[in-house]
Amino acid sequence: MHCGFDIGGTKVLGVAVTDDPVRPQAVRRRPTTYDAGALVDTIVGMVADLEHDTGQPCEGLGLGIAGIVDRQGTLRYSPNIPGVVDLPIRRLLVEALERPVVVENDATAATWAEATLGAGQGSDHVAFVALGTGIGTGFVVDGRLLRGWNGFAGESGHMTVDKDGPLHITGAPGPWEYFASGNGLGRMAREAAAAGGLGAVREAAGSVDAIRGEHVHHAVVEGDAEALELVRAFAREVAVGVANLVHVLDPEVVVIGGGLVEMGSVLVDAVRDHTHELVLGGPHRPRPEVVGARLGSRAGALGSALLVAAELGGGPSPH
């Protein structure tokens, strides 16, 4: 049995997987702790929980973390886990648990899951784009996980798409995730509502200023026409960055994941159309597939478990 963990800004998700990784043997959740020592203790405790649930030992641990993780398994910095900086979490867990530990960025781990078991299965050239509060991405190239020099590849949410545009919280001008994340959707909705549109969304939120991406999401699920139209416009913001990734990396399959895709096919369908319009080459290049993710919010934890399983000789190798 292998244990995979997804350490996000608010919670840690843990899964125990055996032969059929898509169906974990056990799933556990705990709140994220914003203290280095407590974070290690949280994982150690969750390993004990998962071993208790399954009656089997975790042979290895995989961790996907929302932040910049280097190739030595040190969490350098995470905007979502303030207070935890330059934490050698891999080394600390190896010392505490005396078994193999693999640590990756959460989107990188999710990419491996979607590429090997999910919507990218069967292709050696997969780009994964997670649309959440921000944007996380990861890539499989020639069947191998693209990590880059330090392990920091896939920070594509910070690509500039509007070089003279508004400054993001990072201080950078017009990055992709400013426009195409859940936060970007919320901003776009507030602007539409301030201009007199999106009545149902405004009503549900209580006021224009209170509108968030979630309100649009719910209105779309309920079939609200104005919300659907807004999402189609928002999809173009997503497609601008997806087309950039297609120009740089030439993937066969682009998997769109993250919380936003749970609103249904309207978003992915519109991203596909806009991407095909924006990618150069017209009749001379085959169109990449643009599809919704299949593994949902467990992709990061599953991928982490798969990565440590591969390290121990089970399943396809990411290298």
What is the footprint of a second copy within residues 163-192 (CB under 8 A)? Answer: 163-164, 170, 172, 174, 179
3-state secondary structure of 50: helix
Closest CA to 101 of 64, 147, 52: 64
Minimal distance, residue 1 CB to a second copy, in Å? 30
The answer to whether residue 161 forms part of the interface with a second copy (CB under 8 A) is yes
Using CB under 8 A as the binding rule, the residues of this chain from 235 to 294 that contact a second copy are 237, 240, 243-245, 247-252, 278, 280-281, 284-286, 288
Choose, by CB under 8 A, the member of 49, 162, 191, 214 that binds a second copy: 162
CB atoms near residue 19 (< 10 Å): 8
> Among 9, 18, 54, 68, which residue interacts with a second copy (rule: CB under 8 A)?
68
Site for a second copy in 6-45 (CB under 8 A): none
H/E stretch holding 14 reads strand 11-17
Name which of 157, 165, 156, 135 is nearest 258 in CA terms. Answer: 135
3-state secondary structure of 255: strand
Least distance to a second copy, CB of residue 252, Å: 4
Report the distance separating Cα 52 and Cα 33, nearest Å.
22
Q: Which residues contact 28 (CB under 8 A, 6 or more apart)?
A: 13, 14, 15, 46, 49, 50, 53
- Name the residue nearer to a second copy (CB basis): 148 or 199: 148
Q: Considering the rule CB under 8 A, would residue 147 count as an interface residue with a second copy? A: yes
Only one residue has tokens 């969750």, namely 46
Q: Which of 22, 27, 85, 312 binds a second copy (CB under 8 A)?
A: 85
Q: Which of 278, 276, 204 is nearest to 240 (CA)?
A: 278
Closest approach of Cβ 227 to a second copy, in Å?
Answer: 23
Q: Which residues of this protein are in contact with a second copy, per CB under 8 A?
A: 68, 76-77, 85-86, 123-125, 137, 141-142, 144, 146-164, 170, 172, 174, 179, 237, 240, 243-245, 247-252, 278, 280-281, 284-286, 288, 319
